[in-house]
Structure 1
């Protein structure tokens, strides 16, 4: 068992993901991230054990040329334990290559192999790869932990991430609006969903009705009003536009080209605090919490 290897003598652990033949664009996809190693990393950190992660470990090498001085993949030059992950059984050769490489590099350090292949074919894995032990199945103490995502460059920009928000439910407009403003501080978008009861067979909500609708036409939670529902949906839409375009305000008048082009071009480069609110009266910023009764729709005189 994995726990048997984690004793008082283990102060540093090297975690290794072999160089599996995964396309470069997919290496950081959720299906291929070494989640098991990342959870083990969290577990070991909780035990004050130093860890390092090596991704795409050596796959092809000459054992006569292996030299610790040439080992640039990690700053850990004398690990107490090495943990290698595995995926598909037909990629077992990549696991074997990595085990062989690290046995040449650190001949006195125990090497453990876990993951899918190791769990499905533990006897074959131990004999074929030459590792010191095979970890079968999950490490339950690690399974409940949040993976140490800081060890991998997942390649996501914050604006590509969405936070799910359920409105027209228990949390009020003011509570969700506060959360929305916090999401902008984080630089993330929002995926919103209007709550409807499972037994609701009538959904007459019409987003085009600015004058509002009643609870007889669609379900309105007791903590919400039709005004709050429409206001929050508009806020989320404008919030997401601002996040996607890296700006701190939105103007429906500019979006609908109701502002002269030369004026719009000038103000598009300015921040919310810099623009003239008399020229852009409907400027809306996601940075702050918006009152449910504030004015949303504006008209301007055109020549």
Structure 2
């Protein structure tokens, strides 16, 4: 079930229409949809602490030839934020199933999928769980969850302090973040952006508002990456499962900074890998949308 949502306030992606789509388990997602209805479908998943608006430049370009779907993940933006009654509520397996159900409700049984940050983790899980559905996969500036935990050690792990904070049992992380939500989420918008102008004031305000209204669900999403998501990834690794589709990874030069071979770690998960290092900051779809768009077009042209 889905319906057009004409009441979404705040900034929007030019030429896109917002829809409310009910996915499995009754959770409703907000999704901006644009491009020709007959175009090959591409789903774009946002990261932290953002919403679907992070794709505003890339989505508009891809919509020239593709049907582009930009949802807010469960727990983020204008999508539903169910209480985390179990670890599965915000497991990437659950969130990936949301995305498959969303695309199917919009008429697409198969689609290409790109994700940034948290959205990339959902995309990876979708590619592993639904290999017959995801035709192409792109990941922007993240490592698969087990590798992320493996490479963080010693003082270098300070860069990921939020990962450890939100991995703690329910209660304290939520209280600490809610007490200073704008400062907490704004910190990442500041330190992860090389070009501050890439996130203009109205977009920044939309991100901060959406994030401070979603603290419990955002924390639950991160907590899952220290628990149930690792269990699922470990099972796949033991079974030798990999991402069968063409995969493009765009990353900052994490390996040089933290002392590991990012491409090698990715290649263990994605045999059909194109790995590129970019020179912009973490929010690359906003800082260098032309490079991201070109990389996605090249991926989508892959047979």
Q: What interval of TM-score do these two structures reach, taking the shorter chain for normalisation? A: under 0.3
Pick the structure with greater CA Rg. 1
TM-score, normalised relative to structure 2? 0.23
Q: Which has the higher contact order (CA 8 A, sep 6+)?
A: 2
Query: Quick check: which one's strand share is greater?
Result: 2
Query: Quick check: which one's helix share is greater?
Result: 2
